[in-house]
């Protein structure tokens, strides 16, 4: 788009040959042509003089310390004219990398004592470092003949991390019941299978908990009390390969898996278990070691933020063999991964089978909404029919793989992104309740 100033200069240059021709053919009209040129130049000068000055203009952008994947955040923009006239309308545009999302030119009107606040909303599509490079501003003079431009260097670098904001809110909701009883430690009795103490049997207690040997010795009924088991090993194994790096609803699958994993990690750390984060693609990647206590949750967040996206296929043989060699006791291994067909899943099945000989394995994946949509689409054309048949075949192969995993004794979760986290936590609590570890 040509600015008003360039357009005015272009019209003047375009009129020069015509004025030269007029001066040669009709000399008496030269004075009129020269006056027209002087009038245009005077108007441009007036527009420049009485327009808002670039020297008195400043722009600032304030960003939050962290941005979260798939979550919208606002950058605070402040536009200020220290003195002189104010433009009726000013346009701004943020120059940033792809982690800030696409940016558009925004036109702003109205000033509050020479200050104009504004917010730019950004939604990072993946993890990394979001960079805001410059803020471009432009406005026209009162006559619209010139355009002034200002470039404010920003050089802001903001880390984009997994969405722990959602994890925090969900954890508060899950543990809000503790607020009713104060801040003292709550001993959870009766839900586990680890013996805690004997107490006198009272009406309403489970008769199966009566200890007949001790009851006979003390000559009145005594019942066993149990407490929730603690100190289990919970391993979160994240496949960061090509399939998990693909977007699902605008956010990579691995980022959705990391968010759910962090929520379960907080729940398990609070329950007294030990957690470990492990990433892999074509080779083993990030490994956190075992973490204990909720105070180690920030370290868990930092470790998963280091898991990079990969375009390589996941090497399950190397990754799971390396993981198994680090474990000295029975553990719950949660594998966040994906597959396309039975052929690509063959190596995964073989290596998962080796893990099930000693550990309890939970395979967590997302439903393939794109395939389901193609399979259920109305067959309006022959191409729609062919696409539906292929999609239905791939879905059938997917079901075959999941059933084979279940026959191996693997716990399987296949859910939508909206229900993935809640189903993962529910399955963990169910495993603890059934004493499967």
Say yes or no to pLDDT of 178 above 70.
Answer: no
Phi, psi at 245, each rounded to 5°: -85, -5
Residue 334 has pLDDT above 50, yes or no: yes
The two three-digit tokens of residue 310, written as one number: 């990969």
- 235 or 248, which is more confident: 235
pLDDT at 196: 61
Q: Does 47 score more than 60 pLDDT?
A: yes
Q: What is the structure's pLDDT at 36?
A: 64
pLDDT tops 60 at residue 228? no
Percent of the chain with pLDDT over 70: 82
DSSP code of residue 203: T
Q: What is the mean pLDDT of residues 180-199?
A: 51
Instruction: Check residues 435 and 174 and name the one with the higher pLDDT.
Output: 435
- The residue behind tokens 């005594």 is 222
Q: What percent of the chain has pLDDT over 90?
A: 25
Is residue 337 scored above 60 in pLDDT? yes
**DSSP bridge partners of 117:** 78
User: Has residue 193 got a pLDDT over 70?
Assistant: no
Give residue 45's pLDDT band: very low, low, confident or very high (50, 70, 90).
confident
pLDDT greater at residue 151 or residue 433: 151
The H or E element containing residue 7 is helix 4-25
Secondary structure (DSSP) of 249-261: TTEEHHHHHHHHH
Token couple for 232: 């289990």
The phi-psi region of residue 311 (left if phi > 0; otherwise alpha if psi is between -120 and 50; otherwise beta) is alpha
Confidence check: pLDDT of 93 > 90: yes
As a whole number of angstroms, the distance between CA 155 and CA 129 comes to 12
Q: Mean pLDDT in the chain?
A: 81
- Tens-place pLDDT, residues 5-37: 555 555 555 555 655 555 555 555 555 556 666
Per-residue pLDDT tens over the stretch 129-153: 889 999 999 998 888 888 899 999 9
Residue 188 and residue 219 in contact, taking contact as beta carbons nearer than 8 Å: no
- What would the pLDDT profile of 259-313 be if each residue is shown by its tens digit? 899 889 988 888 889 999 999 998 898 888 899 888 888 888 888 878 888 888 8
What is the mean pLDDT of the segment spanning 379-393?
84
Highest-confidence segment of 2-6, 276-280, 346-350: 276-280
pLDDT at 188: 46
């Amino acid at each position: 788009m040509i600015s008003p100033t360039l357009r005015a200069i272009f019209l003047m240059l375009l009129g020069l040959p015509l004025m030269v021709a007029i001066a040669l053919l009709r000399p008496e009209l030269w004075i009129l042509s020269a006056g027209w040129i002087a009038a245009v130049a005077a108007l441009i000068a007036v527009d420049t003089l009485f327009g808002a000055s670039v020297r008195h203009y400043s722009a600032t952008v304030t960003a939050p310390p962290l941005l979260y994947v798939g979550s919208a955040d606002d950058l605070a923009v402040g536009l200020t004219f220290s003195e002189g006239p104010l433009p009726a309308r000013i346009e701004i545009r943020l120059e940033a990398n792809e982690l800030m999302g696409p940016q558009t030119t925004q036109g702003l009107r109205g000033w509050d004592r020479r200050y104009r606040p504004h917010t730019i909303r950004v939604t990072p599509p993946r993890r990394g470092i979001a960079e805001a490079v410059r803020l471009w501003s432009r406005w026209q003079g009162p006559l619209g003949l010139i355009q002034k431009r200002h470039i404010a260097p920003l050089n802001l670098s903001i880390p984009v991390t997994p969405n722990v904001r959602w994890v925090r809110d969900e954890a508060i909701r899950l543990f809000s019941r503790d607020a009713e009883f104060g801040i003292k430690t709550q001993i959870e009795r009766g839900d586990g299978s680890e013996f805690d103490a004997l107490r006198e049997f009272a009406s309403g207690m489970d008769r199966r908990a009566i200890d007949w040997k001790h009851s006979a010795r003390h000559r009145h009924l005594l019942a066993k009390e149990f407490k929730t088991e603690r100190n289990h090993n919970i391993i979160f194994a994240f496949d960061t390969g090509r399939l998990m790096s693909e977007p699902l609803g605008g956010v990579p699958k691995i980022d959705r898996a990391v968010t759910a994993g962090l929520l379960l990690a907080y729940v398990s750390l609070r329950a007294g278990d030990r957690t470990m984060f492990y990433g892999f693609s074509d080779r083993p990647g990030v490994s956190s070691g075992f973490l204990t206590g909720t105070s180690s949750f920030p370290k868990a967040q930092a470790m998963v933020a280091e898991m990079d996206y990969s375009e390589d296929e996941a090497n399950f043989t190397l990754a799971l063999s390396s993981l198994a060699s680090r474990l000295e006791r029975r553990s719950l291994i949660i594998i966040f991964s994906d597959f396309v067909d039975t052929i690509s899943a063959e190596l995964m099945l073989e290596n998962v089978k080796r893990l099930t000989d000693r550990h309890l394995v939970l395979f967590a994946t997302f439903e393939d909404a794109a395939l389901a949509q193609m399979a259920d689409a109305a067959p309006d054309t022959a191409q729609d029919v062919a696409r539906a048949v292929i999609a239905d075949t791939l879905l059938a192969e997917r079901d075959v793989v999941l059933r084979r995993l279940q026959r191996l004794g693997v716990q399987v979760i296949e859910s939508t992104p909206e229900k993935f986290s809640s189903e993962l936590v529910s399955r963990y609590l169910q495993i603890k309740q059934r004493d499967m570890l």
